Amino acid sequence: MPARLFLSSGDLMADRRFDFARDLQLKGDPAAAADLLMQAIELAPNFTSAWFTLGGIREDLGEHRAAIAAYQKAQASDPGDRHGAGLRLMRLGAEPVSNMPQAYVQTLFDQYAPRFEVSLVGDLGYRGPALLFKAVLSVRSAARKPALFRRAIDLGCGTGLAAAAFARTVDHFVGVDLSPRMIERARATSLYAELEVADMLQGLRARPDASADLILAADAMVYVADLPPVLSEASRVLASGGLLAFTAETHGGEGVVIGQGLRYAHSAAYVRDAVDGAGLELALLDNLSARNEDHAPVPGLVVVAAKT
């Protein structure tokens, strides 16, 4: 994953105390680190990074209320919430589950871009594009249709891993990603005819009706809490007979939850309802893991839905 985000307080002494606090935290002395962070905050009351880091320490120490209070301060001091304090508050039950702030997602992946493929594929055993390719082939074969597509949209395209998996089956690839640095790396692959910096919903809304034969979202729906708007726009953009294929993380309960990795997990029933509500026909839903976490497969879904 990317290096920890740091937003300067604008006060040199406060920033230095923050640095010392991080050193103490990494050395296993959270109580001393928390004291130094409080000193930094006294010097710079709106020091977002200090509040956010303090929230993490309070959480690790089991100080639930103090963690919530610190994350709330971090969120209030940075309206864009680039640290993702709101996600921590969701996970702690202090806020309802809702979509991620765009500034957080963009900052996360702009930082992540330089080592994205090494980390995702090498460290986490990422296999989302291969699973989607196999699923699409299976659905096309069952329908006795070739797995060839004139126009495809790759939502949350990242560096182009999904486009690489489907390159021989797609004539014209459009890539959409919220991170400009990811788009730069995707452009370098020459796999895409068009690339756009936008979130998934914005990218779909910019497309005409029935203008795509295939829409992919590999490891992208984990950053979207509310699937129905995205699936409804995908349905509008798909031509008759077109396919929407995506991976998701899942859980054994109901609805949508946010996990320890600050990624959304959607229940299978929720996904089925979202597909049906979008006017799509569920062609395939398999319990398959697209990546590992702590050397174990993360429970996941591979989904293919058809526009009839």
pLDDT in tens, 9-63: 999 999 999 999 999 999 999 999 999 999 999 999 999 999 999 999 999 999 9
Domains of the chain: 12-96 (1.25.40.10), 115-306 (3.40.50.150)
Q: What does the pLDDT read at residue 124?
A: 80
pLDDT in tens, 220-279: 999 999 999 999 999 999 999 999 999 999 999 999 999 878 999 999 999 999 999 999
Contacts of 147 (CB under 8 A, 6+ apart): 136, 137, 140, 141, 169
| C-alpha–C-alpha distance, residues 237 and 211, integer Å | 6
Instruction: Read off the DSSP letter of residue 128.
Output: H
Q: What does the pLDDT read at residue 216?
A: 98
> What average pLDDT does the chain have?
95
DSSP codes of every residue in 248-303: EE--SSSSEEE-TTS-EEE-HHHHHHHHHHTT-EEEEEEE--S-EETTEEPPEEEE
- State what percent of residues in the chain have pLDDT above 90: 91
Per-residue pLDDT, averaged over 277-300, amounts to: 95
Does 121 have pLDDT greater than 90?
no
Q: What does the pLDDT read at residue 294?
A: 86
Q: How far is CA 222 from CA 156, 208, 254, in A?
A: 10, 25, 16
Contacts of 269 (CB under 8 A, 6+ apart): 254
| C-alpha–C-alpha distance, residues 271 and 265, integer Å | 10
